[in-house]
A and B are shown apart, each in its own frame.
Chain A
Amino acid sequence: MNVADFIIGALQKKHAIDKSVDLDSLNYVEEGYVDSLGIIQFVSEIEAEFGIAFTDEELASPSFQIAGELIRLVERKLEEKEGNA
């Protein structure tokens, strides 16, 4: 499945994202789309879907909380995975 579609879908599990929101710069933690209760499942589902693993540094980085940055991170990791295959 397309990375952007999956991540946007996962972000909207509880609350639809209004069409006016700029997804690329959306901080989904600050805007409450993923909270302290939901973050573990959110991260695990992305890792499971794409067969990747985030490092502690990636998880701790502020850019991890930006939807557009997260999408690009996952896409990069997938490219690396294919490059190593």
Chain B
Amino acid sequence: MTKLADLFYRTADLHPDKTAIWCENEAATYRELAEMVSRYSRFLIHHGVSRGDHIGIPMNNSVASVALILAAANIGAGLVPINPTLPQHAIQTAFAAADVKHLIARRAFLEQCEKSGGPNVAGTTICMDEAYDGFPSLRDAASLPAERPISGEISGEEILIITMTSGSTGTPKPIVLTQQNKIDRAMAHIRLYGITKEDRVLAATPLYHSLAERLVLMPLLIGGTSILLPRFTPKIWLNCVREQRVTFTIAVSAQLNQISAELSNPDAPGIESLRCLVSSSALLEPHIKANLIDKLHCDFHEMYGTSETSTVTNINFRETADKVRSVGRPLPEADVMILKDSGERAEPGEIGEIACKTSLLCKGYYGMPDKFQEAMRDGYFRTGDLGYLDEDGYLYFAGRKKELIITGGINVYPIDVERCVMELPEIDECAAFAYPDDRLGEVVALAVVTKEGCNLDKRAVQLHCARNLADFQQPHKIFFLDQLPRNAMGKIVKSRLLEHVTLNAGSP
């Protein structure tokens, strides 16, 4: 079994002078990136990081971040990448759940930690910028030898990434991805989309989510070029694709909605280099898909997957004429079953929970084997999404079993927003729900009922959320109601909230 770092170094030996990675103002050849990975590996070992240790890292998109992923693979350590805008208590919860021992962060993040008193780690804290407050600076790695340190036996079963994308930020489920998981997932996508060393693969989503991690690894394991966008706007994306001659990317549908609108501008750049574009996270409206295919002149796919299972199904646009609104057929690595509430397998056309058996399955939830077992049924992972299969084995999405808002491709658990808002003493009850949005697909909306005699304005709610929730959790709409819609049992009926606020609410 070839290990991930070995694959990378072997590829670097084959193409030393080829551009391995480009990220705005930085670029590195394979030789330069390999030397960076070697220096970072030595630096981490020197500062007490051992095989099996977990390193928390508020992640941004940069060459250094990618080098750290490869360095972690090289020494058998695991990274716990997180969104830097998460509030401190959520970061502490995530780090505790993932047994984080060390921290690598930018100075701005460490300054913020100092102000708010956390998170403290038992091991080493490393500053990615200049040395700060006695913490060593990652920049000092530049003075270390560039030869690859090979530290002991790496089996490939070491945890490489623990990703916190399942479960609320109050009770995160840390998804374990080993080095072998990451190789298997990268290779499956390389095969699925025919990626070669001639490809220039764009990653334009955050590296603290698994999609971008996969997109940077794919080219680096086979001699392609990784193009990494540090920030996204549709204009920046289009200019990057054109200037960097991007040939392949996977984008979230919220990005593609914006890109499609931008392409309708008369001064939008002409794009000739794209060979293949994949949309993920939610189905695109047919007219948006048609516009993208027309303007970008490339092969176009849509896919469905989860963080636990990676990509489950894929559909090429040429198939969709007969399979309207399908998310496609399973990858060769996967099998899909629809489960009825009774636990039995559903017949074609019957709606039930989508369950997936796949060789790309994550290793489990860190520290929560029981929770992971609860989600498994006869080797199939229960996704919590509803759907049905047709007679030809094509999967159709029919909604979410779990209560979830998906904004800009990111999961928001309403309970996280509600718990935060309920801290305000003036609030009697509240409910967070999905509100449709042209750019982001959905945004977080909040319906609020204040206590009798209490006055509270939208600004006070917004300020409280800004201080205590991450960027993607912020409510974009706040509605004040006299009461929330309930059923005969007194339970809040969230599915009626959208209609309810439209009819009853004060101005958002």
Contact = CB atoms under 8 A, between A and B. Distances in A.
- Chain A bound to chain B: yes
Contacts of B475: 40
A84 to B, nearest CB: 18
A37 B459 contact: no
A41 B463 contact: no
A15 B466 contact: no
B459 A47 contact: yes
Given A16-B60, A35-B232, A44 B25 contact: no
B483 interface: no
A37 B60 contact: no
A48 B463 CA distance: 6
Interface in B456-481: 459, 462-463, 465-467, 469-472, 474-476
Given A14-B85, A48-B466, A41 B471 contact: yes
Q: B interface, by DSSP: helix, strand, loop or mixed?
A: loop
B471 A29 contact: no
B305 interface: no
A37 B232 CA distance: 11
B463 A47 contact: yes
Given A30-B233, A31-B236, A36-B440, A13 B84 contact: yes
Contact of B230 (A15, A41, A47): A15
B439 interface: yes
Q: A interface, by DSSP: helix, strand, loop or mixed?
A: loop
A15 B459 contact: no
B476 to A, nearest CB: 6
B424 to A, nearest CB: 14
A32 B231 CA distance: 5
B25 A18 contact: yes
Contacts of B25: 18, 20
B489 interface: no
A40 B24 CA distance: 26
B462 A44 contact: yes
A37 B463 contact: no
B85 A15 contact: no
A9 B85 CA distance: 12
Interface of A: 9, 12-16, 18, 20, 29-33, 35-38, 40-41, 44-45, 47-48, 53
Enumerate the 8 nearest inter-chain pairs by beta-carbon distance, A residue then B residue, closest first: A32-B231, A44-B466, A40-B474, A38-B471, A32-B233, A48-B463, A41-B466, A44-B462
